[in-house]
Amino acid sequence: MEESNLHVEGFFDSATSTVSYLLLDRATQAAAIIDSVLDYDPKSGRTRTASADRLLARVAELGARIEWILETHVHADHLSAAAYLKEKLGAKVAIGDRIASVQQVFGHLFNAGPAFAIDGSQFDRLLADGDMLPLGNLSIEAWQTPGHTPACLTYVVRTGEETVAFVGDTLFMPDYGTARCDFPGGDAAMLYRSIRRILSLPEATTLYMCHDYRPGGREVAYVSTVSAQRAANVHIHDGVDEAAFVTMRCARDAQLEAPVLLLPSVQVNMRAGELPPPEDNGTRYLKIPLNAL
């Protein structure tokens, strides 16, 4: 049998439990990076590019040509390296077209002022449901899968032989369940419907998670299938109805603390990975809104 031209590699960042992906069309060497990480130390306020440089090294090793830097959503637990990678690679940065509603909420929270556009224009491409991005001989289909945030996307790639989907923060591995829905614009019922849509893909579809929290200290794992999720996802296996899911999800969310990097992440990610503009002394600052969340 002919080998598929679709090649996927995952890169796990243990500091934030995030998985970044490299998606490659072997026939043409066209490639995309999905959900990159800019390292950030909250104690010193220093950013580092070790995670992004690891991706760049692999891109060079494979001889890949990065055409797209994709975000599944505005992450609230790690900074995106999209701006850094764009500068290095010249690729286009894409996100869901509902980003404006997220920018509106967080632009207001951080009092970003009129210099911060809330129309998504920091990104090169805003994707609507069903939009197709070319990647060599492959196509990446954008699905709006809101719930965790209002602007979440899942990226679906179908070849003649297989279907794969990068699900962002909708599903996690079957033993961990699903993503929280208590961020601004989050909605558990919406997440349920988005996940059921993902799980309507063929049973053999490979699903790539954006996070792995290693429940029980097990080995890192971030690749699953539709059939495995339907059989065993602890929150949303077949048979769990919407009402039961929403009750469970809301009760669980009420117990969760804010992610450690929530405030730094959102301020950078709402700007497509650019750090906030420097002040008149040349230094860039992150803000902490007090008693506002």
Best CA proximity match to 58, nearest among 39, 79, 78, 36: 36
Query: Does residue 182 contact residue 191 with C-beta atoms inside 8 Å?
Result: no
Smallest gap from Cβ 201 to Fe ion, in A, equals: 21
H helix or E strand, kind and range, residue 256: none
Residues 99-158 that bind Fe ion (CB under 5 A): none
Query: Does residue 194 contact residue 229 with C-beta atoms inside 8 Å?
Result: no
Query: Does residue 194 contact residue 98 with C-beta atoms inside 8 Å?
Result: no
Single-letter residue type at 68: W
Stretch that binds Fe ion, among 42-50, 139-147, 164-172, 264-272 (CB under 5 A): 164-172
Residues 61-100 that bind Fe ion (CB under 5 A): 75
By beta-carbon proximity to Fe ion, the closer residue of 67 and 169 is: 169
By beta-carbon proximity to Fe ion, the closer residue of 75 and 98 is: 75
* Binding residues for Fe ion, total number by CB under 5 A: 2
Smallest gap from Cβ 78 to Fe ion, in A, equals: 9
From the number of C-beta atoms within 10 Å of its C-beta (0-12, 13-18, 19+), residue 211 rates as buried
By beta-carbon proximity to Fe ion, the closer residue of 25 and 169 is: 169
> Per-residue contact track with Fe ion, 191 to 230, x per CB under 5 A?
----------------------------------------
Smallest gap from Cβ 96 to Fe ion, in A, equals: 13
Smallest gap from Cβ 18 to Fe ion, in A, equals: 9
Smallest gap from Cβ 224 to Fe ion, in A, equals: 17
Query: Does residue 180 contact residue 190 with C-beta atoms inside 8 Å?
Result: no
Smallest gap from Cβ 62 to Fe ion, in A, equals: 27
Is position 169 an interface residue for Fe ion (rule: CB under 5 A)?
A: yes
CA dihedral of 65, 67, 71, 77, whole degrees rounded to 10: 30
CA distance 208 to 165: 6
**What residue ranges bind Fe ion (CB under 5 A)?**
75, 169
